[in-house]
Amino acid sequence: MKQDSLAKKTAERKRTKQYPDLQAIKNCLVVWCVNDNQEEYLKLLRKKLPQQVKLDKICFLPEGAPAASFRDVVYVKEEELGFGGKILNEQLPELLDKEYNLLVDLSEESNVMIDYILRNSLAQCKAGMKKENFDADLMIDNVGGISEFIDKLFTGTGVALVTPFNKESGIDEASLRKLIEYVIAGEANYLVALGTTSEAATLSETERYQVMELILEQNQGRLPVMVGIGGNNTREVVENIKRFPFLKFCKAILSVTPYYNKPSQEGMFRHFKTLSEESALPLFLYNVPGRTGVNLSSETVVRLSHECPNIIGIKEAGGNFQQVAEILKSMRSDFTVVSGDDGLTLPLISIGVKGVISVLANVFPAEFSKMVRLASLGNYTEAARIHLKCTGLYKALFAEGNPSGIKAALHAKGIIAHNVLRLPLTPVSERLYNELKDLCHSM
């Protein structure tokens, strides 16, 4: 039974050409963990790769792990990585200066190591694989693209999580945990924490940290997490990024365009360029002119994509098809564009957008994720059926503002215990609440 399943997976990968040209691979970098016995996988990798491939290895040594000695392995301690810390072994920068065609992750504990490699050797890592894909075949992604792995983390359906409140307007921990489990069970692809939908603007720093800790604790590494850190004071945003205590557990930062002070295109370019240079994590831009009062133009996005390798994508919520098309036409080849508008997601995928950061997927993660997957596979007929079923929700969820609508829907569906928002936001009217309740039941 297992062999049949693997055969089908392999056949599908071949059909969709999800293999690199193995003969084109010259150098391979393998990351593993001192706590794992990886000799079996290394032997298999050696058999699959052409004999002329140069294979380097880095061993990730988690804090508290016992020391070990292999001549061909560089050891790196977790606490030495990435966030301004000194790299323990002088060989590591030398290894990262090489041009690797393939990066292989054979460990189960090396996320920090992989993140460090990607931040410091982005242009050299052209393709990648993980241990769990060995039994099917060598490759999981197409060759090409300077942030192949991170790029793949943020395709499909991301869920812009709400922050449930209790009757006293405090954080409702039980409802937030329930929501996270519900979204994960619905096969969403990643979580977006502390975005607009989370009411982050009305959370204190202590509360933002509390929400973040709850999300990470409940998620337990099952889905990648993107965190919102933005503002209209560049220096302050840099400081907020640097002191954010959960960076090592996140995969990217979502940063909104500066609001209220309405900077020029050059001002926004310099703002995001500065953030990208100072951030230990890759950045996703967030363009939502309806909220910020300023539009990040396609020209500026394209310029940022080419001049700032640490900026890996954009959540585009401007509702302008022409602008999205111009970005897709001229952006860096591995740059990722996702929709920030649930109702436009299906048509935008048809022109090359890679998914959505969704509000609606809080309440219907399974249905919306399925629509995105079907559309991404080119099955627009089936995807359209789901899309058309959601049309009433697309309108009603935003009729009296976000997250007022989505909180009402989540409460009506019994996923969160209280329909509470913080001023200046208020719950939706009784009429709209009943409409949302009916729409949810009709789904």
pLDDT digits (tens, 9 = 90+) for 317-337: 999 999 999 999 999 988 999
pLDDT, position 6:
41
Q: What is the mean pLDDT of residues 391-416?
A: 97
Interior/surface letters 340-377, b for 16+ CB within 10 angstroms, e for the rest? bbbbbbbbbbeeebbbbbbbbbbbbbebbbbbbbbbbe
Instruction: Name the pLDDT band for 97 (thresholds 50, 70, 90).
Output: low
Instruction: Name the pLDDT band for 21 (thresholds 50, 70, 90).
Output: low
Percent of the chain with pLDDT over 70: 70
Torsions phi, psi of 178, nearest 5? -65, -40
Closest CA to 80 of 68, 92, 72: 92
* Residue 37 pLDDT greater than 80, yes or no: no
Q: Looking at residue 399, what DSSP letter applies?
A: T
Least confident stretch, 11-15, 56-60, 162-166: 11-15
Q: Give Rg (Cα) of the chain.
A: 22
Work out the number of other CB atoms within 10 angstroms of the CB of residue 303.
18
Please, are residues 230 and 237 in contact by the beta-carbon 8 Å criterion?
yes
Highest mean pLDDT among 55-59, 62-66, 220-224, 270-274: 270-274
Torsions phi, psi of 129, nearest 5? -150, 160
Mean residue pLDDT of the chain comes to: 81
Instruction: Name the pLDDT band for 382 (thresholds 50, 70, 90).
Output: very high
Torsions phi, psi of 410, nearest 5? -65, -40
Catalytic positions: 286, 315
For tokens 């591995």, the residue is 334
pLDDT, position 2:
37
Torsions phi, psi of 239, nearest 5? -65, -40
Please, are residues 2 and 77 in contact by the beta-carbon 8 Å criterion?
no
**Residue 8 or residue 310, greater confidence:** 310
Can you name the residues that pair with 337 across neighbouring β-strands?
Answer: 314
Please, are residues 194 and 229 in contact by the beta-carbon 8 Å criterion?
yes
**Residue 73 or residue 136, greater confidence:** 73
**Sign of the alpha-carbon dihedral angle for 393, 399, 403, 408:** negative
pLDDT, position 47:
66
* Residue 203 pLDDT greater than 90, yes or no: yes
Instruction: Name the pLDDT band for 150 (thresholds 50, 70, 90).
Output: very low
* Residue 269 pLDDT greater than 80, yes or no: yes
